[in-house]
Structure 1
Amino acid sequence: MSRAPRTPPPTERLGFRPMADEDLDDLAALLGDPAVMRYYPRPKTRDEARGWIDWNQRLYRDEGYGLWVVELRETGEFVGDCGLTPQQVDGVTELEVGYHVRTALQGRGLATEAAAACRDFARDVLGATRLVAIIRPDNLPSQRVATKIGLPFERTATSHDLPVHLHATTWPTHS
């Protein structure tokens, strides 16, 4: 019997839940939006959004975390996704916090609020000792989010064969 994956606790404005098959329309719209995906090689197709859900459902099973659907607590409105994924940076697997917010809801601090909750979940629940954000050099809004949640610029690196800015923090281990 599989148990539901844990999620970060709700924040003042946001709730988190695992991605489900029923989220395909919202995620396809989010990941297919050229404005949301402007720092990616290209927007994702509906089939790729289906793969995004499958990938995260595998991460929940295998790792106990992934990207979660983010909703406004007050209305249940779909905000985007935010969470934790293992990512390769210069040949090393790092734990990354990532986030996508619908264009209509950007500029309200929602990415920062969601990413801070995921940072705390990584540190306090998963016991992670390091967290990174992998950001394209021209993605200044995402770099601001990373800095606001305590992940300062560390170095220029390569991820998925692309140059990136690696923002990172390390926490002490607790024995």
Structure 2
Amino acid sequence: MNRHHRPPSPTPRLAFRQMTEDDLDDMAALLGDPNVMRHYPRPMTREEALDWIDWNRRLYRQEGFGLWLVTLRATGEFVGDCGLTPQEVEGVTDIEVGYRVRADLQGNGYATEAAAACRDHARDALGARRLIAIIRPDNRPSQRVAEKIGLPFERDAVSRSGLPVRVHATSL
């Protein structure tokens, strides 16, 4: 693996690694949780969670990055996913930082810690010049994470699926 295919370096509490199909139980539980997925059109089925893993494995190969599996360094326990994906908004493709944390682990600052590590990875390992977060207007917790890692609100937009979104962005 060259440096582009490495996940972000560990943070004080969290570690990152590529997803594999062995992570299906954890990812299906995360992506199937109505609480975690309340700002998405709907929770995902187990089959859709497998497609999610496959999509990220394709991104690792093609782009050298994707959403990584996040675990607690102390215990190895599954936390969620966080990482970088190319996303098109209104005809322009940027690298987006995305993050999801297990419902019972939310409120501990894990999303902010993981997203900050992915921001630094985008800048330092990938040489990205710009980073965005695409967030539903009613998802205040996610907007706060974006703001905390230095991605202020930039503009209102419409997602590829036709939903209103808020784009948070920064130059790196």
TM-score calculated relative to the size of structure 1: 0.95
Cα distance in 2 for partners of 1:105, 1:91 equals 35
Could you say which residue in structure 2 is the equivalent of 1:165?
Answer: 166
Deviation at 1:39, TM superposition (A): 0.1
Q: Distance in 1 between matches of 2:157 and 2:117?
A: 25
Q: Which moved more, 1:15-24 or 1:154-163?
A: 154-163
Q: Which residues of 2 match residues 1-175 of structure 1 at below 5 A? A: 3=1, 5-160=5-160, 161-171=162-172
Deviation at 1:37, TM superposition (A): 0.2
CA offsets, 1:76-125, max 9 Å, x none?
Answer: 00000000000110111110000000000000000000000000000011
Structure 1 segments (4+ residues) deviating >6 Å: none
Secondary structure of the residue that 1:61 maps to in structure 2? helix
Query: Percent of aligned pairs with the same residue?
Result: 72
Find the residue that maps to 2:151 and give its secondary structure. Answer: coil
Q: How far apart in 1 are the matches of 2:158 and 2:86?
A: 15
Q: Which runs of 5+ in 2 are unaligned?
A: none
- Unmatched tracts of structure 1, length 5 or more: none
Query: What's the C-alpha RMSD, in Å, of the aligned pairs?
Result: 0.8
**Alignment coverage as a number of residue pairs:** 169
Q: Provide the rounded CA distance (Å) in 1 between the counterparts of 2:119 and 2:150.
A: 9
- 2:127 match: secondary structure: coil
Please give the alpha-carbon distance, in whole angstroms, between the structure 2 residues aligned to 1:163 and 1:90.
11
